[in-house]
Amino acid sequence: MIQLSSSDDVPQNLEAARQVAAAAGRRGAQIVVLPENFAYFGPEAGRRAHAERIGDDQAPIQRALFEMADAANAVVVAGGMPEASSDPARPYNTALVVGPGRRLHGAYRKLHLFDVDLADGTALRESNSTTPGDETRVLELAGFRVGLSICYDVRFPELYRRLVAAAT
């Protein structure tokens, strides 16, 4: 699992991810997991601008992920990136899973969006800028059945009950 401090500079973020993924591969990692917002963390307008269609291996983020998987000789779980949706103002937050040889294992779109009201009156509404996913995802990776989720999903135990049922 990789820890990054991403910003709104996509090329810089992807280079940092490349370096740590390659280092993990040199140490024998079979699966490299990148955090949510690994490629872009900044204003929503930028997130929309960087949203990619899954399967476009020439799109900058996906191209970098395939290169990382090849360099590390490992599966890369891209913990959360902007994926274009039918609503251009609200891309998905998608965990994309790729492997060496430009293999697309699958993708998971974040189900539970971070919509909360804080005690100080601040309202945070991820749903204003993100389209929620509508299905769970379990993949076979390096001999394991792996259920995917992103950040705030961890607050919803029913999701993990469904993932366990699907994985067994």
Mean pLDDT calculated for residue range 65-89:
97
Catalytic member of 52, 83, 126, 151: 151
pLDDT of residue 57: 78
52 is catalytic: no
What secondary structure does DSSP assign to 26-59, as a single string?
A: HTT-SEEEEPTTSS--S-HHHHHHT-B-TT-TTS
Is 36 assigned a catalytic role?
Answer: yes
Residue 56 CA to residue 77 CA, distance in Å, equals 17
Q: Amino acid letter at 51? A: A
Please indicate whether residue 110 is annotated as part of the active site.
Answer: yes
pTM exceeds 0.85, yes or no? yes
Out of 52, 83, 110, 126, pick the active-site residue: 110
Active-site entry in 15, 36, 52, 135? 36
- Residues facing 92 on adjacent strands: 83
Query: What is the set of domains in the chain, with CATH numbers?
Result: 10-167 (3.60.110.10)
Residue type, 142: A
For residue 96, pLDDT beyond 90: yes
The whole-number average pLDDT for the span 136-155 is 95
Q: What is the mean pLDDT of residues 115-134?
A: 95
24: tokens are 């993990």
Q: Under DSSP, is residue 113 helix (H, G, I), strand (E, B) or coil?
A: coil
Collapsed DSSP state (helix, strand, coil) of residue 11: helix
Look up residue 39 and give its two tokens: 């490629």
Residue 58 has pLDDT above 90, yes or no: no
Q: pLDDT digit string (tens) for 146-164?
A: 999 999 999 999 999 999 9
> Is the separation of the CB atoms in 8 and 47 below 8 Å?
no
Backbone φ, ψ for residue 138 (5° rounding)? -125, 130
